[in-house]
Amino acid sequence: MTISRSQIRSRARAALAANPRMSGFEQISAWTGNIEASRLPVLGAVTPGERIDPETWSHYQRATVLQVVAKRLGRDDLEDQLDADADAIEAATLQSFAQWGVDCVPVSVSITLNGEGEQRIGTVVAEFRVTWHRDLSGQTL
């Protein structure tokens, strides 16, 4: 089995597309600056960092940071909606990676509410640590 950061992002996006709660979100590949309210809800999966630790001279453990970001419009119950989004993201992601046989654990969830404009917009960021192993030639162990 081969594992790459691209495959990690793709796996997360596929899991979320199959999830009943998250399937209605438009998926975007990269989180650009401001997103027009007319495009919401949107979600993206990014891998902004990776820690690499040597296990031997030729084998390395990689701990990739996977972030799933979802943004939606809401009303008074926006924070409750984002809590439910976070739960759906976590369940879908963990189940998918378990089926893939790759270690994935939740690390954090953050929620941001922005009600300064005409509409209330909320963002949830769910962060995971995906652990895998690779040798010097690039082969997954």
**pLDDT value of residue 64:** 96
Q: How wide is the angle at C-alpha 89 spanned by C-alphas 81 and 25, nearest 5°? A: 65
For the chain, 141 residues long, the average pLDDT of each consecutive 10-residue run is 89 96 90 78 94 88 95 90 97 97 97 80 96 81 69
**pLDDT value of residue 32:** 64
**pLDDT value of residue 116:** 66
Task: State both tokens at 46.
Answer: 């990014």
Domains contained in the chain, CATH given: 5-135 (3.30.70.1700)
Q: Which CB contacts under 8 angstroms, 24+ apart, belong to 21-24?
A: 21/84, 21/85, 21/88, 22/70, 22/85, 22/88, 22/89, 22/92
Task: Please tell me the pTM assigned to this model.
Answer: 0.91
Kindly provide the residue ranges of all beta strands, DSSP E only, lying in 18-138, ordered along the sequence: 26-27, 42-54, 59-74, 103-114, 120-135
Amino acid identity of residue 108, one-letter, is S
**pLDDT value of residue 127:** 98
Count CB-CB contacts under 10 A for residue 34: 5
The dihedral through the CA atoms of 42, 45, 46, 50 has a sign that is positive
Query: Using CA atoms, how far apart are residues 138 and 101, in angstroms rounded to an integer?
Result: 19
